[in-house]
Chain A
Amino acid sequence: MAGERAVGLVRELHRTIGGSLPPFRTEELRQALEEMRALYEQNQADVSEAKSGRTDLIFLIRFRHCCLLRNQRCILAYLYDRLLRIRALRWEYGSVLPNAIQFHMSAEEVEWFNRYKKSLAAYMKSVGGEEGLDLTQDIKPPKSLYIEVRCLRDYGEFEIDDGTTILLKKNSQHFLPRWKCEQLIRQGVLEHILS
């Protein structure tokens, strides 16, 4: 059946639950686009034949056109949904993505991510007066300025505002300002402990 490859892409993406990003299927995408090109060329040939009298080819042309539209829809939805997932990564993970995730993105998607980052940064700077407002902070309403955190894995040295550095070793606990640690907690390096 025509359009199987494109639908396969959509199916795989739909199966990936939790909004995480599966690897970019360059090969399948290329095959689907190849199929579209072949259908288009066949239709071009048949249209000129139909114009010179063979009206029974109209159904075939229409069928191929339906397949072309179907492929187009599947591919567009695939690419768009991936962008939505990449956008979610900026809000949930931060502006630097780990290599493991970057491997799953195509070059164009990396480019899109960088441009989105810039757009978001420009917007955040324009809001909230002189220094701008970091919208990715304080996703949950804060209850206190300082929070208790435990380190989940070795991270190394960490400098806080008054100049002191703290060594983040696995299982060490610290009492740190909220705005400094939020990023690290979201990345899974620290764990927020409630008293």
Chain B
Amino acid sequence: MSEAYFPVGPGLGLEESFLSLDDILMSQEKLPGRAETRLPRLGFALGQGTGAGDAITEGSKLEFPLWLAKGLHDSKRRIISVQLPNIYKEAWRTVLSADASVVDLHKMGPYYYGFGSQLLNFDNPENPEIAQAILQTFISRFRRIMDSSQNAYNEDTSALVARLDELERALFQAGQKELNDFQSWEKGQASQITASNLVQNYGKRKFTEVDG
């Protein structure tokens, strides 16, 4: 990892971080909902109807990305209403409270925590339960992530990382980096000046240009 590159991190809680690449990709994830009123000429844009002049009838089911849902959502709920994706509903919440470590959070939408926090922006009577579920899931999974990231030295970690969502993967990487730094300090390599990975990658490419 490059040591001098500090990307903008994702936002915490209800606010997204505007320039964060993670938050942009997270808000691209889709959300089910329905139209509360007749929407003229939006048929093509929202994936229904083939002509540019098609309207979306009131009450029809739609699916839109989070950024659009946040933009069109209005507290008086005139335009659209959103529904919860399955992973945040009652059924899955019970599964997660039973044993959260076995759930594949990467498959259920790779941004479980981030997306879930954003969902709390819409008025939904289940919000307190959703918030609790997200928190409890994190608490029960955290121990295993910390443990595995701190003890897998020089191994193939793909099996450990496969079921983690993006936030957990970032934590795992932080743990791995810390482990590698500590090991290199123990071996006395901490004072060794090295070319950063950045440079090594460019160096490799340059060699192929010269030889080829």
Contact = CB atoms under 8 A, between A and B. Distances in A.
Contacts of B197: 18
A89 interface: yes
Contacts of B191: 140-143, 194
Interface in B195-212: 195-203, 205-206, 209
B29 to A, nearest CB: 11
Given A59-B40, A185-B194, A66 B72 contact: yes
Interface stretch (B17-25, B114-122, B128-136, B148-156): B17-25
Given A2-B45, A10-B25, A19-B5, A98 B206 contact: yes
B4 A1 contact: no
B21 A93 contact: no
A187 B192 CA distance: 14
B65 interface: yes
16 contacts: A14-B25, A18-B201, A19-B2, A19-B7, A19-B198, A20-B198, A57-B41, A60-B40, A62-B71, A66-B71, A66-B72, A77-B20, A77-B24, A92-B2, A92-B4, A140-B190
Interface string B38-58: 111110010100000000000
Interface string A88-128: 11011100001011000000000000000000000000000
A143 B192 CA distance: 9
Given A1-B65, A85-B5, A194 B188 contact: yes
Given A2-B45, A62-B71, A73-B24, A80 B200 contact: no
A57 B40 contact: yes
Interface residues of B, number: 49
A14 B71 contact: no
Given A7-B28, A140-B190, A182-B193, A80 B4 contact: no
Given A59-B40, A69-B71, A100-B209, A14 B21 contact: yes
Contacts of B68: 63, 66, 70
A87 B199 contact: no
B1 interface: yes
Given A59-B79, A60-B41, A100 B206 contact: yes
B42 to A, nearest CB: 6
Contacts of B138: none
A77 B19 contact: yes
Contacts of A20: 2, 198, 201-202
Contact of A89 (B67, B198, B206): B198
A186 B193 CA distance: 7
B3 interface: yes
Contacts of B140: none
A103 B178 CA distance: 34
Interface in A48-100: 56-57, 59-60, 62-63, 65-66, 69-70, 73-74, 76-77, 80-81, 84-85, 87-89, 91-93, 98, 100
